[in-house]
Amino acid sequence: MKILVISDIESEFSSNVQSSLSSAGNVAISNHDPDISQDKIDVAVTVVPPDARIEQSENLRQQVEVVRQADVVVVGATLSQSSALPAEITSLPVEGPWVEICEGGRNITPLLARLDTLMAARTQTEEQVTEKLPIRVFISHSSDDKLASDVRVELERHGMDVFWSEQSIGVGEDWLATITTSINESDVFVLLLSPNVIQKPDWVYQELLLAKEAKRRIIPVILKPIPGIPQNFAFLIRNLHFINLDPGFEVGIGRIVEAISGQAGAPSKIDGFRAKVHRTSEKARRVAHEHELGKKAKKYGSAALAGAAATAVAAGKILSEQQEEQRVASRIEERRKEHARKVSMKTYLDRTFTLLQEAVEETQRAFEMSPSDYREEFRPKFWYVLGKLESEPVPERVRHEHEALVTELRKLLDEFDDLVRKIEMGNRSAAHRFHDRLNRKWGATLQSSLDWISSVSASLEE
C-alpha cells in the first residue's frame, strides 16, 4: 500500500518509521517530499516523538485535516506511551487510539497490524454487495394503462423491487429528483409502450432519456398494439429486442421475468453503498463487543487479543454510517446534476432533429411545386420551423452552431421571398435560381444540420 508519513519536522524517528514501512513492502513517502499526490495515497501515519511540544500541534492538525479532506484515513503513531504526549497532540483527528511503537521507529509491528486491519475494513466497504438483493426494476409507463399495474404486480410476485411512480413518490417530494435517483439506482428499466404512450409521450420519453444517460439495462415491452415506434423513441432503443404482451399475458410476463433475471447483474459500487450503510450499525455493535472482550483479555495478560480488539475499534470507526450516507448523497447529487445537463441536451437535439426532419420532408414536396404554390403553402411552414428554432432553449455547448444555423436559414428564406417576387414580375431566370437554391443550398443546409445533430448525439452516447 502507499503510505504518507506526516511529521512536523523531519527527524530520525520519522525517517526510521518511513524506512521500516518501506522494508515491509509498502511505498512510504514523507509529507516533506515535493509533489505529493494525495489522491493515490491509501493511508497516512502521523508520527510524533514523545518529546513533542504543544506548539507543534497546530501545524500537525492542519496537515492531518488536509489529508482527511482527501478522504484518506490517518493513524497516529508515537514512541513509548501515548499518555506522555500533550493533550493538544493526542486530540488530533486520527483514527482510533495512538499506536505505540518502539526501538526508535525501527520496530513497527503494532503499526503494521493496525494498517492491515484498516485497509481490510476499507476494502470490505468498497467491494460490491455480494449477498442476494432483490432486483430493482423501474417501470416507465402511461398512467392511463391499467394493464401496466398488472405487470407491476407480477414482477413483485417474482420478488422484484419495483419503482411505481403512483406509489413510490410521496406527497411533497421532489418528483424529478426522486425519478432520477430511482432510475440511477435501478438494475433494469422496463419501458411499456402502448397507444397511450404514443399519444402522450413526454414523461415516458424523458424517463427513457434518463435511463440511457444512466446506462441502465432497457427492456422495451409492447403492452398493447401500436402502429409504429416514434422516431425519437426508435433512435434510443434501436437494436433492442422487444417483448410483446399481446399474444398472451402469462407468456409475455414469463419472458419479461426471464429477461430481467438474465440481464440484472450485481449492483454497482455506488448503488451498493446504501445496503452497506444499512449494515454498518450492526457491525459497530459487534466491534464494541469485541473491544470489551479485548479489555478483559488484556487484564489477564492476553495482549494479542487486546491489540486485535483495539484495531477492530478503529476499523469500526471508518465504517461510520453518517460518513457513508454523506458520500452517497454527494455522489447522487453530482450524478443528478450531470444527468440534468445531458437530458437538457438530449431534449434540444431531439426537438431540433424533429423540426429539421419536417422541413426536409416539406422541401422534397416543394421541389414539385411552382413558386406561387411555395408562397401559399410552403412558405408559412418553413417560417414556422425557423420561428421554433429561434425561440427554443439552447444549451450553451451548442449555442454558436445553433445561431449560425438560424442565421443561414433566415438568409435563405429572405432570398426565396425575393426570387418569388421577381418570378411574379415575369423574370424567367429567377424561376431557375429559385429551384436551384431550394434544391442545393436549402436542402444541403438542412441535411448537414441533421448530420451535425446525429454526431452530437453519438458523442453523448459514448
pTM score, whole prediction: 0.34
Distances (CA, A) of 289 to 99, 304, 374: 21, 16, 86
Gap between the Cα atoms of 88 and 401, Å rounded? 60
Q: Which residue, 453, 439, 435, is CA-closest to 357?
A: 453
Q: 3.40.50.300, 2.60.120.260, 1.20.120.80, 1.10.1380.10: which CATH number matches 2-126?
A: 3.40.50.300
pLDDT band at 308, cuts 50/70/90? very low
Handedness of CA 311, 312, 315, 317 (dihedral sign): negative
Please write the tens of the pLDDT for every residue from 367-404.
666 666 777 777 888 888 888 888 888 888 888 888 88
Please write the tens of the pLDDT for every residue from 234-283.
888 888 889 998 778 888 899 999 999 875 443 333 333 333 433 333 34
- What is the reported pLDDT for 171? 62
Q: Which residue, 206, 266, 212, is CA-closest to 238?
A: 212
Gap between the Cα atoms of 136 and 161, Å rounded? 5
pLDDT band at 11, cuts 50/70/90? confident
More confident position, 300 or 174: 174
| Max Cα-Cα span within the chain | 115
The CATH fold assigned to 337-461 is Four Helix Bundle (Hemerythrin (Met), subunit A) (1.20.120)
State which amino acid sits at residue 86. Answer: P
Please write the tens of the pLDDT for every residue from 77-89.
887 665 667 777 7
Q: Decide if pLDDT at 121 tops 80.
A: no
Q: 3.10.310.10, 3.40.50.10140, 3.10.129.10, 3.50.50.60: which CATH number matches 136-267?
A: 3.40.50.10140
Q: Three-state SS string across the chain, please?
A: CEEEEECCCCCHHHHHHHHHHHHCCCEEEECCCCCCCHHHCCEEEEEECCCCCCCHHHHHHHHHHHHHHCCCEEEEEEECCHHHCCHHHHCCCCCCCCEEEEHHHCECHHHHHHHHHHHHHHHHHHCCCCCCCCCEEEEECCCCCHHHHHHHHHHHHCCCEEECHHHHCCCCCCHHHHHHHHHHHCCEEEEEECHHHHHCCHHHHHHHHHHHHCCCEEEEEECCCCCCCCHHHHHHCCCCCCEECCCCHHHHHHHHHHHHHHHCCCCCHHHHHHHHHHHHHHHHHHHHHHHHHHHHHHHCCCHHHHHHHHHHHHHHHCCCHHHHHHHHHHHHHHHHHHHHHHHHHHHHHHHHHHHHHHHHHHHHHHCCCCHHHHHHHHHHHHHHHHHHHHHCCCCHHHHHHHHHHHHHHHHHHHHHHHHHHHHHCCCHHHHHHHHHHHHHHHHHHHHHHHHHHHHHHHHHHC
Phi and psi at residue 47, in whole multiples of 5°?
-105, 120
Please write the tens of the pLDDT for every residue from 16-34.
888 888 888 888 888 877 6
- Counting residues of the chain whose pLDDT is more than 90, the rounded percentage is 12
Topology agreement, domain 2-126 and domain 136-267: yes
Cβ–Cβ < 8 Å for 257, 271: no
pLDDT band at 299, cuts 50/70/90? very low
Please write the tens of the pLDDT for every residue from 311-367.
444 445 445 555 655 665 666 677 767 777 777 888 888 888 888 888 887 777 766
Gap between the Cα atoms of 136 and 186, Å rounded? 5
- Measured at the CA of 67, the angle between CA 47 and CA 50, to 5 degrees, comes to 15
- What is the reported pLDDT for 280? 39
Domain chopping of the chain, boundaries: 2-126, 136-267, 270-319, 337-461
Three-state DSSP at 107 gives strand
- What is the reported pLDDT for 269? 37
Distances (CA, A) of 428 to 373, 375, 414, 433, 454: 16, 17, 19, 9, 39
- What is the reported pLDDT for 219? 94
State which amino acid sits at residue 22. Answer: S
- Per DSSP, what are the bridge partners of residue 188? 137, 217
